[in-house]
Structure 1
Amino acid sequence: LINDRFGNPNSAYYFDGIDDYITIKEVNGFDEFDDPETEFTLSAWCNPDPGASGFIFSNTTEDGWLDLRMSNQIPRFGIRDTDWTGTVLNSDEQISANEWHHFVGIFNNPEMTIYVDGQNKGSTPFIGDILSSGGWENGGVRIGVTYLLDPWYFEGGIDDVRIYNRVLNETEILELYNEGI
């Protein structure tokens, strides 16, 4: 455990990039993605180590996956289906290491949007079949890793991961960000 974004000791998790992760077996209030009107919001605070890559949030099944992740300190939000068809939306800039940052991924079928530190960093239509991209079952949600082909672990701090079964608006996203700074 490490200090969270407010400086509270032992209040956020540190992931070593080697073998640390948390599994949440069930996410109440969600069904499989069996509704073409599917919408959701993923939100998490992270404090990446220098050069960090890895998965902050993932839900990986044999039917596909969805995630919030980082590659060389660039935030990404991705959804893929069984044919590896899908979309990975990248932020337009690298974030600084050793500082807390707020990530939000929104899916408002068919639109995907990524926010970093309260700012909209891009939107794009989802390409693929959301109905076959996994849902919230078959292994649950993992914080700090994905098991896509091989484990890909996150290195740094993660705090306050949230999953909403609706789209948060810009005001709500700013409120989440501002409560953490």
Structure 2
Amino acid sequence: MWSCTKSRRIVRDEEAPNVGYDFNGTNEYLRVEHSDLIYSDDGSITIEAWIKPETHIGLGGIVSKYHEPAVESFSFRLGPTTISNSLEFTIGNVNLTTASGEVTLNQWQHVAATFDRTSSIMNIYVNGELVRTYTNAGTLQLQENTSFLAIGMDYLDGARYFEGEIDDVRIWNYARSEQQIADTMNNELNGDDQGLVAYWKLNEAVSPFVDSTGNGHTAIRIDN
């Protein structure tokens, strides 16, 4: 159904320039102002990113639009402190959390979360492989809010920050399959791929960070 054009292959090593943004874990994140284009017509979504966490900060945000208690929308983040080196994906008040140890500290890994509104299935993937699924979501819906989107932080009131590097953040307006995620996770995309609604390559040395889809979701560094 959906097509995707691969661009150059991403090489990640300590000597490679312009690979991701390094978050301090205490007071900084990237802020993207609200746009209705982030949401799909049917309420499905896929969030993807490469991460290299230095520490496991409980609920440290990777990508979050969860800053209004009344309308929680979505969040993809590290898991709670009680489940070390885990991931958590939230849709509204439903939290899907992986087992401990799915995330490796001080190492690059690709992470993805999907929600299919039609089937109400939530999935979490690590390095292109399914690690956690929730199939009893029933009538779960992705609520829309007008809050900003954050990269590297979760929930502004009592913020939980991400410490480490985040790279190549993508948001799609449909639930991508395991095969689709695996096929493109190692490649930097052109940005014009069908269903790709926001894409931050994070190759810039400093803020602002452009949205390569052309939809204008510019990310600005915030240092609280």
* TM-score range relative to shorter protein: 0.7 to 0.9
Q: Secondary structure at the match of 2:28?
A: coil
Structure 1 position 100 matched with structure 2 position 105: no
Matches within 5 A, 1:52-71: 52-53=57-58, 54-60=60-66, 61=68, 62-71=70-79
Q: Please name the residue that 1:38 is paired with.
A: 43
**TM-score, normalization by structure 2:** 0.66
**Deviation (angstroms), 1:67:** 0.9
How far apart, CA to CA, are the structure 2 residues paired with 1:59 and 1:16? 20
1:166–1:98 Cα change, 3 Å = same
Residues 35, 146 of structure 2: 8 Å contact kept = no
Corresponding letter in the other structure for 1:145: M
**Deviation (angstroms), 1:76:** 1.3
Matches within 5 A, 1:161-172: 161-172=169-180
Please, which of 82, 90, 97 is the counterpart of residue 90 of structure 1? 97
Please, which of 58, 67, 73 is the counterpart of residue 85 of structure 2? 73
1:88–1:113 Cα change, 3 Å = same
Gaps of 5+ in 1: 81-85
**Deviation (angstroms), 1:65:** 3.0
**TM-score, normalization by structure 1:** 0.80
Please, which of 124, 127, 130 is the counterpart of residue 141 of structure 2? 130
Please, which of 181, 184, 187 is the counterpart of residue 176 of structure 1? 184
How far apart, CA to CA, are the structure 2 residues paired with 1:19 and 1:127? 37
1:43–1:129 Cα change, 3 Å = same
Q: Secondary structure at the match of 1:175?
A: helix
**Deviation (angstroms), 1:179:** 3.5
1:150–1:5 Cα change, 3 Å = farther
Please, which of 124, 131, 148 is the counterpart of residue 121 of structure 1? 131
Matches within 5 A, 1:123-162: 123-124=133-134, 125-126=136-137, 129-130=140-141, 133=143, 135=144, 137-147=145-155, 149-162=157-170
- Could you tell me the percent identity over the aligned residues? 28
Gaps of 5+ in 2: 1-9, 189-224
Corresponding letter in the other structure for 1:141: L
1:5–1:20 Cα change, 3 Å = farther
1:130–1:43 Cα change, 3 Å = same
1:30–1:70 Cα change, 3 Å = closer
Which structure is higher in strand share? 1
Q: Secondary structure at the match of 2:37?
A: coil
**Deviation (angstroms), 1:88:** 1.2
Residues 91, 116 of structure 1: 8 Å contact kept = no
How far apart, CA to CA, are the structure 2 residues paired with 1:90 and 1:49? 20
Q: Please name the residue that 1:83 is paired with.
A: none
